Structure 1
C-alpha cells in the first residue's frame, strides 16, 4: 500500500505548497483512492508533482462537509469523470465557523455539486467492496472537543453546535492489516476507533 499526502497544513519541501486542509492519495493492490481534496485546487497541483494522475483515481471519499476537505471537489469532477465520490448524505448541509471576531463564516461545500451523477451518498455504513468500507454514526462520548468550539450547522434556520453526523471514516483491509483513515476526527479519535 502506498499513501501520499497531496495537501496538508505543513510541507516537508519547498517544492510543494500547503494549505489548511487535507488530501491523501492511497494506492492499494486493487484501487487508487483519493481521500479528501483539500480547500482548493492545490491537491491537483501537488499530485502532478508526485506523478499522481487524478484521472486514474477509482474513487474519492470526502470525510465531511467542510471546505478544507471538499473545496477541490469541482476540479476533481472536471479532471475525473468516472470515479464515484462517496460523501455522507448530510455533508451538503450548511456549516459555519464562529470566528474570534464574532463573525460567522460559511465553511461548507459547494451545494451546486451535490446533483453530479458521480456523487454517491452514504450513511452509517457503506461497503465499497470486500476490503474497503466507510462508517459514520460514531457514538460520541464525553464533553465537546475543544477543537470543535465555534463549529456550527444550520438547523431550521437556526445555528446550533455541529454534531458531525456528516463525518465518515474509511477502512481498508489488506494483507491481514486494517488501515483506518480519518479526516479531522471531529467525533474524537478514541470514539471512532471504538
Structure 2
C-alpha cells in the first residue's frame, strides 16, 4: 500500500505548496483512491508534481462536511469523470466556525449538492472486501475542546456541531488493517474504541488529524488532554501517521511519549506499508 500526501498544512520542501487542508492519495492492490481533497485545487497541483494521475482514481471518500477536506471537489470532478464519491448524508449541511468578528462559513460548496455522482451514506457501508466506511462514533473519551468553536445549522438555528457528518475509512490489505480519519472530531480514542467494540478490529496503522489545535484561537489543547490521548494510543499496537489539525506542539508531545510509534505527514510525504 502506498500513501502520498497531496495537501496538508506543512510541506516536506519548498517544491510543494501547503494549505490548511488535507488530501491523501492511497494506492492499494485493487484501488487508487483519494481520501479528502483539501481546501482548494492545490491537491491537484501537487498530485501532478508527485506523479499521481487523478484521472485514474476510482474512489473518493470525503471525511466530513468542512471546506478544508472537500474544497477541491469541483476540481476533482473536472479532472476525473469516473470515481465513485462517498459522503455522509449530512455533509452538505451548513457548518460554521466561531471567529472574533462572528461566524465564518466552513461548509462545502452548496452549488455541488445535486451532482448525481455523489453517493450519500447514512450508516456504515462496505464498498468491497478491501474498503469499509463507518460513522456514528459514540463515546466521550478525550474529546477535543476546540470542537466548541464549531457550529452547525439546524432548522435555521446555530448550535454545537455534533459531527454526525463525519465518517472514517478502514482499508484491509494483506497483513495491514489501516484506519484513515479526517479530523477525528469525535476523538481518535473514541474512533478506535468504536472499531474494537463494533467490529472487533484493532488497526495496524492509523492515519489522520487528531484535532488537537484550535485554529480560531491559535492555541493547542491542554497538555493534560494530549498526554491522556498519548497514553491511550501507547497501549495499542498501531503505528500512527498524524497531520493537519493535530498541530505542531501536540505532535511533539505525542512524539516524546510514543517515539517512533507516531509520525507526521506533510505535503509531499510518501509512505509505503
- For 2:52 and 2:165, the matched residues in 1 are separated by 28
Alpha-carbon deviation of 1:117?
1.7
Higher RCO, 1 vs 2 (CA within 8 Å, ≥6 residues apart): 2
Q: Corresponding residue for 1:168?
A: 167
Residue 149 of structure 1 aligns to a residue whose secondary structure is helix
Provide the TM-score with structure 1 as the length reference.
Answer: 0.97
Structural RMSD (CA) = 1.0
- For 2:147 and 2:19, the matched residues in 1 are separated by 19
Higher share in helix: 2
Q: Does 1:85 align with 2:123?
A: no
Q: Corresponding residue for 2:180?
A: 181
Q: Corresponding residue for 2:56?
A: 56
Provide the TM-score with structure 2 as the length reference.
Answer: 0.69
Q: Does 1:7 align with 2:4?
A: no
Rg comparison, structure with higher value: 2
Q: Corresponding residue for 1:141?
A: 140
- 1:90-142, Cα deviation, whole Å (9 max, x unpaired): 0000000001x141000000111121121100122011111111000001314
Q: Corresponding residue for 1:156?
A: 155
Q: Corresponding residue for 1:39?
A: 39
Residue 17 of structure 2 aligns to a residue whose secondary structure is coil
Q: Corresponding residue for 1:126?
A: 125
- For 1:144 and 1:176, the matched residues in 2 are separated by 30
- For 2:176 and 2:12, the matched residues in 1 are separated by 28
Aligned length: 193
Cα 1:143–1:48, aligned 2, differ >3 Å: closer, same or farther? closer
Runs of 4+ in 1 over 4 A off after TM superposition: none
